Amino acid sequence: MSRSPLWLRHYSFECPPFAKDLADAGLWLPTSKQELLDTMVEALDERQHVLLTGEPGMGKTCLLRALRQRLPEAGFRLTYCHNATLGRRDFYRQLCLALGLHPKATAAAVFNAVAEHVEQLSREHRHPVFLLDESQLLKQEVLEHLHVLCNYDFDSKPLLSLVLVGLPDLWDILKARINRSLWSRVHCRIAIPEATPADTAEYIQHRISQAKGPKTLFSSDAINVLHEGTLGHLRDLDRVATNAIKAAAQRKLTTIDRAVISEVLDADSGLSD
């Protein structure tokens, strides 16, 4: 069995603290985002559609994973779609595959297969929720048709909820006059705010705790500089914090201070120029 890297052993980490492959059991959601999650859960309980926008690395995926944990499996059927660049027929074919259905040949047949499945779930008292990630990339022909998918019995039955997730551009796209039919149906609209220094501190401590590392590894000043340099974007935090731990381990430091973080941020910025 191969030994763990020196930088992990130096701080007695059981695993890399900022690795991407985090199980749902170790999912982190900042205290400041709990209200957003509660709002989404309440909206789906009320069979509404949801719009969730935010800059890259602001925790959209974390919110979706937390949502999956919160919604009771007995009452909901969540389906995740991430390939947003398809035309209308292929979009519905992808949706069929995600639902476990066999895609049909024609666009009308594919659409009908999805609609019939939604109605069947309703008869089973399970509410389908379609999570459409990167929705700012959806083709206009798909956007123009999504409100049709939501119409059942002359738009009188809320049998399906859409969760449209994307960058802030998505908000403006949906507000455009051409998409007013869909926009008017989305009653729950959430824009994730920028992360706070408290969010960053909470995230760093959570990930270190999950990996069984030292609680005081990062000084408070280091965390402040880390937040200023990354704006609290999770992917950037993961990268910079990992490089800081490696640099500190090489020097056999017990604490990562602001000087180490500043050095890593300078190097990171130089590589990205």
Give which of 93, 132, 131 is closest to 114, Cα–Cα: 93
Sheet holding 161-166, edge to edge: 76-81, 127-132, 161-166, 50-53, 188-191
Interval 141-177: pLDDT, tens: 999 888 888 876 545 567 899 999 999 999 999 999 9
- Rounded Cα–Cα distance for residues 221 and 212 (Å): 22
Task: State the first-to-last Cα distance of the chain, in angstroms, to the nearest integer.
Answer: 39
Structure tokens at 202: 């909470």
Whole-structure pTM value: 0.85
For residue 152, what pLDDT is reported? Answer: 66
* CATH 3.40.50.300 domain position(s) in the chain: 31-191
Residue corresponding to tokens 């949801």: 50
Residue span(s) of the chain under CATH 1.10.8 come to 6-18+196-272
Per-residue model confidence as pLDDT tens digits over 92-137:
888 888 888 887 778 788 888 888 888 899 889 999 999 999 999 9
Of the two residues 24 and 178, the one the predictor is more confident about is 178
Q: 81-90, 172-181, 255-264 — which is least confidently predicted?
A: 81-90
Cα diameter, the chain = 68
Helix H segments across 11-106?
34-45, 60-70, 88-99
Domain 6-18+196-272 maps to which CATH number in 1.10.8, 1.10.287, 2.60.40, 2.60.120?
1.10.8
CATH topology of domain 31-191: Rossmann fold (3.40.50)
Q: How far is CA 62 from the centre of its chain?
A: 5
Q: Please name the amino acid found at residue 203.
A: Y
For residues 164 and 50, the answer to whether their CB atoms sit within 8 Å is yes
Q: Which residue has tokens 């704006």?
A: 231
In tens, the pLDDT along 196-234 reads 999 999 999 999 999 999 999 999 999 999 999 999 999
Task: With a cut of 90, say whether residue 246 has pLDDT above it.
Answer: yes
Q: Are 212 and 9 in contact (CB under 8 A)?
A: no
- Encode pLDDT of 31-57 as tens digits: 888 999 999 999 999 999 999 999 988
- What mean pLDDT is reported for the chain? 89
CA 203 to chain centre: 15
